[in-house]
Amino acid sequence: MKKRVFSGIQPTGIVHIGNYIGALKNWVAMQDTHDCVYCVVDLHAITVPQDPVAFHENILRTVATLLAVGIDPKKSILFIQSDVPEHSELAWILNCFVYFGELSRMTQFKDKSAVRGQGTSVGLFDYPILMAADILLYGAHEVPVGEDQKQHLELTREVARRVNSKFPNLFVVPDAYIGKMGARVMGLDDPSVKMSKTASSDSNYISLADTPDQIRNKFKRAVTDSDTAVRYDEDKKPAVSNLLTIYSAFSGQPVDAIEKDFTGKGYGDFKKALGELVVEKLQPLQKRIADLLKEKQELDAILAEGAQKARDLAAPRMKEIRRRLGLGR
């Protein structure tokens, strides 16, 4: 039997190359070796305010993006989180097994609540529990994520073990699957912070929807260092190392081969070549996204089928969880 994989992405407007390299490329690769369940986590996205019309567009755009990068609904289950109400139900149950202090220590919550202040929703606080529910509902063995989600995944594992200690073998304890390279793509304007769609400046990230000129300019402006050598050294040359990671992910070339190609050339040449490479790779993808978005009926049919398959897995699992906990009739 193939191992099951679960992962999700928020439909919050843009998908950036950090999401693509850190998570989506692994999602695509795992389709041939695992039983994959992939989800557009719209309930996670409403932990911060959303305009309903733009939000709905973003959900469809995210689905089109997943299909365009290579998620195949014939191989994987692809659906929208809110189409399967069992996610919210299990989140409530898991809430009753997690302590306030544990959620208060989540670094993502600390960072985001520091920005939102009094406007921080209870949902943002509870976000990791909904994520735990997503994963545990499907009995996933592996969860491909970027490094930023490691702490949330550790909490999921802890919750599963805690519930299992009272209700033996109720949940599979999942492992994080973190790729060897690109698990933490850093901001182009600041290599000390991760590339993030909520960054204060759009120079931080390359969106999958950026135009060729935007892509070229963002790489041109990307920070480097006072040295000139195109060389990988995370400690001493974090900005250049980040650009090399991106180059490697988009070209498929190992980093040492890229270093060799750019020996004796300066950062200007390297960043120009990187810009052209990413433009060349993203253009067909962008066309596929635009084409898919014109096929609203086809998208709807894919999502309806995905939701049905996900519900077929989730409903009996929830029934069993309720029974084991002694809930209901």
Query: What positions carry a catalytic annotation?
Result: 112, 194, 197
Instruction: Map the footprint of ligand AQP across residues 117-156, applying CB under 6 A.
Output: 145-146, 148-149
Instruction: Map the footprint of ligand AQP across residues 16-75, applying CB under 6 A.
Output: 18-19, 22-23
Q: Which of 183, 188, 206, 278 binds ligand AQP (CB under 6 A)?
A: 183
C-alpha span between 285 and 274 (Å, rounded):
17
Q: Long-range contact list for 160-168, CB < 8 A, 24+ apart?
A: 160/132, 160/136, 162/97, 163/94, 163/97, 167/324, 167/325
Instruction: Map the footprint of ligand AQP across residues 233-272, applying CB under 6 A.
Output: none
Q: Which stretch binds ligand AQP (CB under 6 A): 195-203, 213-221, 222-230, 251-259?
A: 195-203
C-alpha span between 147 and 177 (Å, rounded):
9
Q: Which of 5, 9, 84, 273 binds ligand AQP (CB under 6 A)?
A: 9
Give whichever of 3 and 197 is closer to ligand AQP, judged by the CB atom.
197
User: Total binding residues for ligand AQP by CB under 6 A?
Assistant: 18
* DSSP 8-state class, residue 189: S
Give whichever of 45 and 137 is closer to ligand AQP, judged by the CB atom.
45
From residue 311, give the alpha-carbon distance in Å to each of 125, 135, 170: 26, 14, 19
Q: Which of 3, 116, 162, 197 binds ligand AQP (CB under 6 A)?
A: 197
Residue 194 in the binding site for ligand AQP (CB under 6 A): yes
Angle at 138 between CA 132 and CA 141, to 5 degrees: 80
From residue 314, give the alpha-carbon distance in Å to each of 50, 310, 317: 27, 6, 5
Identity of residue 78: L
Q: Which stretch binds ligand AQP (CB under 6 A): 52-60, 80-88, 183-191, 318-326?
A: 183-191
Q: Which of 25, 87, 184, 271 binds ligand AQP (CB under 6 A)?
A: 184
C-alpha span between 231 and 227 (Å, rounded):
10
C-alpha span between 71 and 63 (Å, rounded):
9
Do 132 and 156 form a contact (C-beta atoms < 8 A)? yes
C-alpha span between 193 and 186 (Å, rounded):
6
Give whichever of 77 and 163 is closer to ligand AQP, judged by the CB atom.
77
Give whichever of 35 and 148 is closer to ligand AQP, judged by the CB atom.
148
Please state the closest distance from residue 105 (CB atom) to ligand AQP, in A: 18
Please state the closest distance from residue 61 (CB atom) to ligand AQP, in A: 13
Residues that bind ligand AQP (CB under 6 A): 9-10, 18-19, 22-23, 145-146, 148-149, 183-185, 194-198
